[in-house]
Structure 1
């Protein structure tokens, strides 16, 4: 049995991320991925059963990178607004440095490969952040709406701002980033909590 090489595994994931975000799912072949990763097509099958399995693995890798970034900013000693501000800014910085991550996440999430099992897996990993949001709702800090709406108004704007172009591109300076988060917070916070400040 051929031994696995973690560098090759990671190269395959990165090549898949690059090619799919450049050309789409259907236009990206196994041969193209292997070539971009610098391995033979046969090597790919040491790590993944087929292209579908590779796409799922790439999605999970992207999710883990984003989730690890978010969870690294969750601190129960801070008020909710400050926790979310830190999560938001950290994710924005990742999106700015690696816009492919958010693009692949968005593409995969709207594809036939997305399943309830994958959603549940990510929700389990995000438990500390989701619990912070749920506690915020119990305390009357944020609106009693579902996760889909919270995600749409809190975190989806990050992808839009990073991808913005044309007549009104977003200038990611410190003041603009702070204003962008403040607008996202105002969208989900109950009115009496919209100006909540952080405490340590």
Structure 2
């Protein structure tokens, strides 16, 4: 049991080191040797858990995406009205981004890089299925604009990520009033 926990701890340390280094240095400047050093393991240990750097990045992305969506959809109920369901999801996204900055920053970088391979990206999108289902229902009921999910995401979800990034870089102080206004703008951008 102790050996299993040590193994889990090492893997978690590698994931954490990957997130920290990617957030501070970018994907390309994050060498496996730096990850191992920060995780306090030998470089060879990485290969007990991951095939290569690509596998490490993809698995880290999917693990963080899973934490993100577990939090985001925890209080969502499928029988909510379209607006209420969207508001619950959107505000949970805002809360996650605000409280889990390192994960949000990492996901933001993953969304804007070719480093994440296509199978991992598709798996990541599956994590958003409750939101995609809500939008489909909203389109079918004539409540949501008949745009692609990519456009709906770009107009309604990406802006809060942008604001969170601006706050992380000390360019903007995101207050509750800003969050409330950003939600209304997000809803207005997708509702019919």
Both structures adopt the same fold (TM-score exceeding 0.5): yes
The aligned residue for residue 169 of structure 1 is 172
Query: Which of these residues, 180, 183, 188, is aligned with residue 182 of structure 2?
Result: 180
2:17 aligns to what SS in structure 1?
helix
Count the aligned residue pairs.
Answer: 188
Distance 2:174 2:125 in 1: 32
Of the structure 1 ranges 36-45 and 14-23, higher mean CA displacement relative to structure 2 is found in 36-45
Quick one: distance in 1 between partners of 2:185 and 2:76? 20
Structure 1 position 125, deviation (Å): 3.1
Aligned-residue Cα RMSD (Å) equals 2.1
Q: Measure, in 1, the Cα distance between the counterparts of 2:89 and 2:170.
A: 29
TM-score, structure 1 length as denominator? 0.85
User: Residues 23-62 of structure 1, C-alpha deviation per residue, up to 9 Å, x if partnerless?
Assistant: 0111111111112112221211110011111011111112
Aligned residue in 2 for 1:19: 21
1:77 corresponding residue in structure 2:
79
Match of 2:157 in 1: 155
Q: Which residues of 2 match residues 58-73 of structure 1 at below 5 A?
A: 58-73=60-75
Per mean C-alpha deviation after superposition, the further-off stretch among 162-171 and 12-21 is 162-171
Q: Which runs of 4+ in 1 moved over 3 A?
A: 165-168
Which structure dedicates a bigger proportion of its chain to helix? 2
What residue ranges of structure 1 are gaps of 5+ in the alignment?
A: 191-200
State the TM-score, normalizing by the size of structure 2.
0.88
